[in-house]
Amino acid sequence: MQTLKTFSIHFWLSTAKKKDDLAPIYARITVDGKRAEISLKRSISVTYWDTRSKRANWRVPAGKALNIYLDQVYADLLACHKQLLGESKYVTAQAIKARYLGEDEQHKTLLQLVSYHNKNMVSILKPGTLKNYYTTERYIKRYLTNKLKTNDIFLKQLSYKFIIDFEQFLRNGKSINRSQPLRNNGVMKHLERLKKMMNLALQLEWVEKDPFVRFKLKFTKHQKEFLSQSELEILETGNLFPETLRKTRDVFIFSCYTGLSYIDVKLLCEKHIVRGIDGDYWIFTKREKNDEPVKIPLLDKALDILKKYDHGSGNGEEELLPVFSNQKINKYLKEIANILGIQKKLSFHAARHTFATTVTLSNGVPIETVSKLLGHSKLSTTQIYARVLEQKVSTDMRSLRNKLETEDREHTRLHIK
């Protein structure tokens, strides 16, 4: 609840800054004895200033126009004071000044929000994720400049129309990365990041309404590639040259039997390989993406690959596998698929899907266990990987058929007796 405060506004000349008899005019706001001053970017001869009325002498040239301007400033400052009271904000001279100059929370701009978000998320978001926000920022700036013909826009000006117009701009405009033109999901990702930043603005009370409230993000669901059991066997046994392709295959197969993502395989060190409670070798690490701890028992095929590249350094920090850059490894995987006749567009992430689908779920490993192995914080995330294979359906239904037939025979036998 606001307590009664003393409040006054008056205009004065800064004679200390006088130049050629012209002194700049300032507005002084006083609340409970504390002041804030605003330069009005106007000057007047000291001779023509009335110190009693705090206005220009109306008889002098331009005096009337100057006084009309000062009256308007006075009215605007009163309005700012009234607004702050109406919003139950803490009223100070500086708060009134900030509201008048458009520097308070009610006048935050879109790019100020983007800058605040990216600056404060440096220690929270992973570099790859933050890099995506920087790309979204570049698209926003391009939209403001090319479409709206402005350098920035106030947050309170953002509307549903702004969102759908920005969506169309992303769909129809040129991609920042020419090698990867924006498709539907790329557009949705940029809008999703903007939506998250607007949620931050709501929490900071920089805006009163969310322009996304009636906008629904519509992602296109794509069937993720993974290797079937027969394709995995072809990959494991096929002849490959040169050495770069063989190394790429080994790293990919290692991921197929551990479920580790590209970056987690790349960062895997000797210190992450430990003896588990069962006496076997396990991987104890944290996912780079979300810091979620993962503990994975090493299957024989994954362990064999580690032994193949064991250099015995013993310092615990050296990376265990020869992992090329993500771009190169995906290029080599496409070459490998072509050589071995695997009719799928492979990327490294397909190994993680293969682990979830072909190696674990299709062999009866419960989805809850698979979720732990993949380092997911939510089971719903794992369900994306939970493909029901025809072979698994056939096996399960055959088991059911046999069970029902056994029960029928037993029922018939008891009935005959």
CATH 3.50.50.100 fits 240-386, yes or no: no
Backbone dihedral angles phi then psi of residue 129, each to the nearest 5 degrees: -70, -45
Q: Cα(289)–Cα(78) distance, rounded to whole angstroms?
A: 51
Q: What share of the chain is helix, strand, coil (3-state, %, to 5)?
A: 50, 10, 35
Bridge partners (DSSP) of residue 109 are: 154
**Domain boundaries along the sequence of the chain:** 7-106, 108-203, 240-386, 388-417
The region of weakest confidence among 1-10, 14-23, 32-41, 165-174 is: 1-10
Give the pLDDT of residue 104: 67
pLDDT at residue 376 tops 60: yes
Give the pLDDT of residue 28: 95
Q: Do you know the residue count of the chain?
A: 417
Question: pTM (2 decimals)?
Answer: 0.66
From residue 90, give the alpha-carbon distance in Å to each of 81, 102, 358, 416: 10, 17, 61, 90
Give the pLDDT of residue 217: 96
Query: pLDDT (tens digit, 9 = 90+) per residue, 224-252?
Result: 899 999 999 999 999 999 999 999 999 99
Q: Cα(227)–Cα(233) distance, rounded to whole angstroms?
A: 9
Query: pLDDT (tens digit, 9 = 90+) per residue, 125-139?
Result: 888 899 999 999 999
Query: pLDDT (tens digit, 9 = 90+) per residue, 384-394?
Result: 776 656 666 77
